[in-house]
Amino acid sequence: MSAREIHPQAILGAGAKLGEGVKIGAYAVVGEEVELGDGSVLHTHAVVQGPSKFGKNNVFHAFSVVGGDPQDYTFRGERAELVAGDGNIFREYVTISRGTQKGGGKTSLGNDNFFLAYSHVGHDCVIGSHTLFVNGATLAGHVTVEDFVTVGAFCPVHQFCRLGRYAYIGASTVITQDVPPFSKIVTERETKNYGLNAIGLERKEFSAERLQALKQAYRLLLRSKLNTSQALAEMKKTLGDSADVQELIRFIEGAERGIVK
């Protein structure tokens, strides 16, 4: 194992313990009672607080705060810890809280978990291994996440919920009950197109003639009884002189995933 690489502008607590090959960048902070296993990397401005213990090859990206105080009104500075295994990746602005005494005093993470930017793990959570937390995924306190779970972007999970092995939670889904293992969970979506962004286009100095052509095009697309192909054909027939409508037509014809209607 190679020697440690500590930037002279990093800040290390006197009680921090560093394994072999640890790399710590400029302005990174390693607090008191932090143990970093061999090969771990703190990028510039990453913060790790303790008491906390990490296994080998964990990677902390800029502005992540891992092992911070629990976000709990009753916390009064009592001893509580974070324990993590090997190979976890904490991307930018990830926050992982230590435990609370009333919750058992410990937040725990397994191995090879990937926490994307702005994801959060609250106090006293128990995370297994090989999980994926997509950007903005948020766990309240006391949540259990078993192995191989994916928590989609901007998903909040209520305290004390359990997420079973291999579950997949789609983006923007609110979880207030336990999620069974092997399941796929997603909030029903009713995204609708409400027509032309008339006010915004007026502010961009679209003329009355341009707006009128686009309004007619959107009536054909959304308000008529025509399907999309029929609406496009009618636009070409009746509004083909409008460059804006031609742009709209080209965009719809190029859509590989369909359009919001």
Distance between CA atoms of residues 71 and 98, nearest Å: 9
Catalytic residues: 123-124, 141
Instruction: Look at residues 105, 109, 130 and name the one whose alpha carbon lies nearest to residue 120.
Output: 109
Q: Strand locations in 88-180, DSSP E?
A: 89-90, 95-97, 106-109, 114-115, 120-121, 126-127, 132-133, 138-139, 144-145, 150-151, 156-157, 162-163, 168-169
Report yes or no: 244 and 210 within 8 Å, Cβ to Cβ: yes
Cβ burial of 163 (10 Å; 0-12, 13-18, 19+) is buried
Instruction: Look at residues 125, 161, 167, 176 and name the one whose alpha carbon lies nearest to residue 147.
Output: 167
Distance between CA atoms of residues 153 and 91, nearest Å: 14
Helix (H), strand (E) at residue 82: strand 81-84
CA angle 147, 149, 155 (to 5 degrees): 140
